[in-house]
Amino acid sequence: MIKMIKRLGDYLKADTQNSSLIILADERPKFVYFGKRIGDSDDYGFSGIKSPRGFSSADDVDNSPCLVSSSGDGHSRENMIRVVTSDGSAVLRLRLEDVSILDGKPAIDGMPSSYEAKECVVFKYYDAASSVALEQYFAVFDDSDVIATSVRLINRGKEDVKIKRLFSLQLDLPDGDYEMLTLEGASCRERIPKIKTLNGGTYLNASYSGLSSNSSNPFVALTKKGPNGFCVESNLVYSGNHKETVECGNLGGVRLLSGINDYLLDYTVKAGESFCAPEAIFTVADDIDGASRAMRDFVDKHIISERMRRRERPIVVNTWETFLFDFDEKKLSALCDKAAELGIEMFILDDGWFGKRNDDSSSLGDWYENVGKLGCSLKEFGDKIRAKGLGFGIWVEPEMISADSDLFRTHPEFAMTIDGVKPMEIRRQLCLDTTKREVRDYIVDAISCVISKSGADYVKWDCNRSVQELKNSGSLFHSFTLGLYDMLKRITDRFPDLIIESCASGGNRFDLGMLCFTPQIWTSDNVDPRYRTAIQEGTLYAYPQISMGTHVGHIPDWHTFNGTSYDNAFSVAALGSFGYEFNLTELSDKDTEIVREQIAFYKKWRGVLQFGTLTVNERVAERGISCYTVADEKCEKAVATVIVTQSVFNRDYPKIYIKGLNADYIYKVGFRQQTEVDGKTTFTASGDALACVGVSLGDMFSEGAVGKNYNSIQTRMMTFEKI
């Protein structure tokens, strides 16, 4: 069997499908190379790696690109590890003790991580003065270009040590001109790509709320421009506070660090115990599109759990933007009938079905049905939905409690509060103290009971506030995240076929940790197709389309008040785990037929739309046009979506260059029928002609269609079938 990780003299070489990582295994192991896949050599000494690199000041020692760095070890810059021993010393001088290569890779205590690794290399370090040891893993996968890394710190001494920082990844990249892309935003504008040209100094990407956050996603892309350019991307398998620093070294080069945020971190590791940092993943490619393709593919194959991998997702209707809290048996029943008649496959009962919850002021924690609103028990309600041919899904917010709830009245100690401090309510709710085992037991039992009683096939797991009651502050944020993973693990083990869509006020916790348990995530509460185009484009830099919950919502949109056609809304929502979220019973006859046709189209092309390999033809940030192709494995079937967000007058029609097809195949090209568009319908073309000659937008949109669309968004979906 061909080994992916080899020893070559003093070096370790890990090959992925298209990249090589070379490490010098001396007493302070160093990165020699990370880039395009290359052949083997016995010695890479010619790279200069064996000569100590530069001195940034008289006080610094070797600044070579080490795999780890720590305080008090000669590097006066941002470093990866900070540990304080019982005598107050922050000196940690880790030196290599041993290197080994293993088949597969070990699990990480209490945390989710990628699976089906082929091999991993383990570097074991030790610092005799502090008795601190460190294990560092780099794992490769035989069908991917992504490398997974993690570290475990072990206290081999007799006294406690305190972790003040333990990042998961340190990557020192060579000198050059870099551009950094991060995914930033807020509620309703999550993961908007932000590009910064690195120009000295240190750049920060971090969250502080207890969640991975909508303000800064843990994903980072670093593109080195010019000759010998490349793009390195990293992400973290973690759902709590994270921190990435990108530091332009004063000697040149760029250092990327990524891991748990050290904000307030002060974690005690007792004698003989250890602490695991979450897994980080990273990849390299010629450009950002190549690196992002590798990331999406990896998430699809090695992060989304095996039991949910490539599992087709149903078309849903969700009651939130349909009724908010204002529903009764009659309204729900009418919506369900209409959904069944249209061919929708699952009915999701969102917030408002439990306790006495008619607004957001009460009942979180009281996970039993409001019979008055449902008209029957939860079990009967689930049965009724199934009798109409639909699957049943239900909304819960397990980590939270309302002060006005039976749970709070009976167990006030379950809430995360601090004696003598008035609890801070956010969205009129408190966090449960999920760092306590008895609280998690209660939640797991209560949520399991909801799932069993209702026979739910799907759960929307929401989380609508940040963590602010900072007791046990040194460990609180991390323990809150571990508590979440413990509950998700227990529930997914108990209900292996359950689809969980996680959500956090929209996409406030869209990360790889969640994706290990919940194969899809509600992307954003903003479903305005114009804005969603940017949100989804940002998300797709790091995550595959199947992970995104994408719905056609109310028109005009409830958040932005923009209006458009149902067809345009569909084109944007069709790329993902799709559904509807507005009152379908109020559709006109004409719009009913439009929606019926959309559902039939989605079902026909579902495999490609949900799991097809995605190629970016153009991004909206460039000239107001977004265009993606998704193609099946053999490139025999594909769909391309074109979204134009800016009408331009008095100019030649722009052309769209459709990539991601097989250059040598001849395709029958079709356009999805859209009522307001009377452009071209079908033609035949080769894959290379579509990519090189391009397709004129002039043939796609008639002038009339432009006039009828508010806010000048126009869309078309093209289909490709190999002849």
Catalytic residues: 462, 525
| Residue 323: DSSP 8-state | H
What tokens were used for 43? 């010695």
Please, what is the minimum distance in Å from the beta carbon of residue 507 to ligand GLA?
Answer: 8
Residue from 350, 399, 433, 618 touching ligand GLA (CB under 6 A): that is 350
Q: Please give the backbone phi and psi of residue 154, each rounded to the nearest 5 degrees, phi first.
A: -120, 130
Residue 628: name the closest of 588, 575, 579 by CA: 575
414 vs 522, beta carbon nearer ligand GLA: 522
- What is the closest distance, in whole angstroms, from the C-beta atom of residue 408 to ligand GLA in the complex? 18
> Which alpha helices (H) appear in 495-528, and where do they start and end?
512-517
Shortest Cβ 586–ligand GLA spacing (Å): 20
Using the minimum distance from each CB to ligand GLA, give the nearer residue, 119 or 511.
Answer: 511
According to the binding rule CB under 6 A, does residue 114 interact with ligand GLA?
A: no
CA angle 541, 547, 549 (to 5 degrees): 110
From 363, 464, 550, 615, residue interacting with ligand GLA (rule: CB under 6 A):
464
* By the rule CB under 6 A, 395 interacts with ligand GLA: yes
Place of tokens 């021993």: 85
User: From the CB of 449, what's the least distance to ligand GLA, in Å?
Assistant: 20
- Whose CB is nearest to ligand GLA? 351
d(CA 352, CA 324): 8
Q: Least distance from C-beta 524 to ligand GLA, angstroms?
A: 8
SS3 content of the chain, % helix, strand, coil (to 5): 25, 35, 45
Closest CA to 525 of 318, 338, 365: 318
Q: What is the CA radius of gyration of the chain?
A: 26
Is the bond leading into 556 cis (omega within 30 degrees of zero)?
yes
Least separation in angstroms between residue 504's CB and ligand GLA is 7
Does 462 engage in binding with ligand GLA (CB under 6 A)? Answer: yes
* Footprint on residues 289-328 left by ligand GLA (CB under 6 A): 320
Shortest CB 410 distance to ligand GLA, Å: 23
Q: Given phi > 0 = left and psi -120 to 50 = alpha, else beta, which region is 96? A: beta
Distance (Å, rounded) from C-alpha 393 to C-alpha 456?
Answer: 5
> Considering beta carbons, is residue 244 or 366 the nearer one to ligand GLA?
366
Residue 185 contacts ligand GLA per CB under 6 A: no
* Closer residue to ligand GLA (CB): 13 or 189: 189
Distances (CA, A) of 13 to 9, 281, 474: 10, 17, 38
Nearer to ligand GLA by Cβ, of 139 and 430: the residue is 430
Nearer to ligand GLA, 522 or 543 (CB): 522
Q: With CB under 6 A, what is the number of residues at the site for ligand GLA? A: 11
- CA-CA distance, 204 to 484, in Å (whole number)? 26
Residues β-bridged to residue 404? 362
**Contact call for residues 192 and 533 (beta carbons, < 8 A):** no
Least Cα distance to 310 among 544, 563, 473 occurs for 544
Residue 381 or 395: which CB sits closer to ligand GLA? 395
Per CB under 6 A, 557 contacts ligand GLA: no
Q: Rule CB under 6 A: is residue 354 a binding residue for ligand GLA? A: no
Binding string, residues 500-519; x marks residues near ligand GLA by CB under 6 A:
---x-xx-------------
Q: Is 550 in the site for ligand GLA (CB under 6 A)?
A: no
Residues lying near ligand GLA in the complex (CB under 6 A): 320, 350-351, 395, 462, 464, 503, 505-506, 522, 525
